Amino acid sequence: MCKCSWSYGNNKIITDTDCGTIHLAGCVIEVMGVKAAMTIRVTTPSTSSGGGTTSAQFTYINHGADYAPGWRRDYNTKNKQPAFALGKTGNTVANNKAVGWNWDSGAYCAQDGGASKMVLHFYTGEGSCPAMQFLVDYKNRGIFYRSARDGYGFEADWSEFYTTSRKPTPADILALALSGGSMSGSIKFINDAFLIWERNTDWAKIGFKNDSDADSDSYMWFETGDNGNEYFKWRIRSGSTTKDLMTLKSDALRVTGQVIPSNFSNFDSRYVRDIRLGGAATYKPANNGMTWTHQAPSGCVYTGIIVQDTGSNSADNIGGVYYRPVQKYINGTWYNVAQV
């Protein structure tokens, strides 16, 4: 056994260990055995010049000229073994929550029914998140994680990472599936948009047109294809029975039953609500000894005749006629008709 000089100027370096650089200044060297069966152990100091490995213990084995010598470095309290260097850490645990938040970092095997999962545990023991874990299922069946808080450990359950092979369901992200479904909220369109039903060569659309707040021509529109067999229906269902209330086709809008407006002012201003005859007028020829004809004025109808006694044994004479104008009642006013 010997101790090397602390003279950094005379320092010698071993570089071919494949497990760290040994700066011999300040080292303790132990030699055991003979040349053909020799063990050399080098313990490095806690300080070094030029990047030497400190606080380490290197061991060299020599079994003679027929065997290649080799260096290895021991793990100790200063140079700890990496958490995942030995593969599985500790014994298999009973379930995927059995690895404690303050356990040593490592790769643990956790039972899960008839199978098992890997728990990758990272522990620092410091800060607001002193530990975290990954739970990995076999055959890409999922990756989950959880993290600890202060000294309270794992307060929340595992959360899953979504991947290309494990996509979230529409329910997971509160979305509506492409295959259909139901929703409790409303849909708001903030620009021109439309809903389309299209199959084969048949199609129908409901559209919304609005270019801006200043748009003077905003509307909702219905549109169908030109095959003639696509149209819109307004229906009512009672139990298993469906009744058409209104249909919109390319040639007409058809309504089953009566159209009842809430305001009749536009109807009242255009439609005739009643008809009557106005005041009577007469026409008489100059005398009863002449032949005469008469045509009622435009818009009037005959309502009676005037019969005169001739004072002889001859037939009575038609001495005139009565006529009245035909009147119509529109929006509170009586009007004479133009013609009958």
pLDDT one-digit tens code per residue, 126-157 = 999 999 999 999 999 999 999 999 999 999 99
User: By residue range, what is the domain housing residue 49?
Assistant: 2-74
Residue 134 and residue 168 share a domain: yes
Looking at the domain assignment, is residue 171 inside a domain?
yes
> Does residue 84 have a pLDDT over 80?
no
Residue 99 and residue 70 share a domain: no
pLDDT for the residue numbered 42: 95
Residue 109 and residue 156 share a domain: yes
Length of the chain: 340
Residue 331 and residue 279 share a domain: yes
Where does the pLDDT of residue 224 fall: very low under 50, low under 70, confident under 90, or very high at 90 and above?
Answer: confident
By three-state DSSP, how is residue 267 classified? helix
What's the mean pLDDT in 207-226? 78
Looking at the domain assignment, is residue 262 inside a domain?
no
Residue 102 and residue 41 share a domain: no
> What pTM did the predictor assign?
0.50
Residue 70 and residue 140 share a domain: no
Looking at the domain assignment, is residue 187 inside a domain?
no
DSSP character for 193? E
Mean pLDDT check: name the lowest of 120-134, 176-190, 205-219: 205-219
Which of 18-27, 33-42, 127-136 has maximum average pLDDT?
127-136
Residue 121 and residue 65 share a domain: no
> Does residue 191 have a pLDDT over 80?
no
pLDDT for the residue numbered 313: 62
Mean pLDDT check: name the lowest of 41-45, 64-68, 320-324: 64-68
Residue 90 and residue 161 share a domain: yes
Residues 48, 20: contact at Cβ < 8 Å? Answer: no
> Does residue 289 have a pLDDT over 80?
no
- Count: domains in the chain: 3
Mean pLDDT check: name the lowest of 1-15, 208-222, 263-277, 287-301: 208-222
Q: What is the DSSP string of 60-79?
A: EEE--TTS--EEEEE--SSS
Looking at the domain assignment, is residue 219 inside a domain?
no
pLDDT for the residue numbered 231: 83
Residue 150 and residue 96 share a domain: yes
Residue 99 and residue 42 share a domain: no
Last residue of a domain, one of 74, 90, 117: 74
Residue 90 and residue 63 share a domain: no
Residue 161 and residue 92 share a domain: yes
Last residue of a domain, one of 132, 160, 176: 176
Dist. CA 33–CA 36, nearest whole Å: 8
> Does residue 277 have a pLDDT over 90?
yes
Last residue of a domain, one of 128, 158, 176: 176
What's the mean pLDDT in 78-106? 87
Looking at the domain assignment, is residue 130 inside a domain?
yes
